[in-house]
Amino acid sequence: MPAVPTLTPILVAEEIEACADFWSTRLGYAKTVEIPHGGRLGFVILEKDGAEIMYESPAVLATDLPQLAGLGTRALLYVEVENLEEIESAMAGLEPVVPMRQTSYGAAELAYADPAGNVIIFSMNAGY
């Protein structure tokens, strides 16, 4: 198998604006691409420190890749970080989906949902 230099999740969300705000305001990601669709944001790319995440609306997905429309829109992201306390601070006021926990494989984790319901698991010091 050839090397995979990047791996970028594309999440589907009805309200991309809220999801983009979640990543930019709370986690410091910058919007590098914004594509409008029907008077709203239809697609966005957010980037920070070489990591990217994309959001696409169901309407854009149905137009761009109709064979994927209607397959479901929820995902789990596993994000390794250096400091979970910084994540907790950035998420102040939000209830975690999974409170801080210690895993059997040596990681400390906590998880939050974005406004579209996708769950982001933040992990520190995974020992696997």
Residues 127, 103 within the same domain: yes
User: What gap in Å lies between CA 105 and CA 117, rounded to an integer?
Assistant: 26
Number of domains within the chain: 2
Residues near 40 by beta carbon (within 8 Å), at least 6 away in sequence: 15, 16, 17, 57
- The pLDDT tens digits of the residues spanning 13-63 come to 999 999 999 999 999 999 999 999 999 999 999 999 999 999 999 999 888
Tokens 């970028």, residue located: 8
Instruction: Verify that 16 and 63 share a domain, yes or no.
Output: yes
Look at residues 50, 72, 94 and tell me which one is the last residue of a structural domain: 72
With a threshold of 0.85, does the pTM exceed it?
A: no
Q: What residue numbers bound the domain in which 62 lies?
A: 1-72
Give the model confidence (pLDDT) of 104-115 as tens digits.
Answer: 878 899 999 999
Using the structure block, give the residue that is written with the tokens 């939050």: 112
Q: List, in sequence order, every residue forming a beta bridge with 34; answer none if it has no partner.
A: 44
Asked which of 72, 90, 116 is the last residue of a domain, the reply is 72
- Residue 47: beta bridge partners? 30, 52
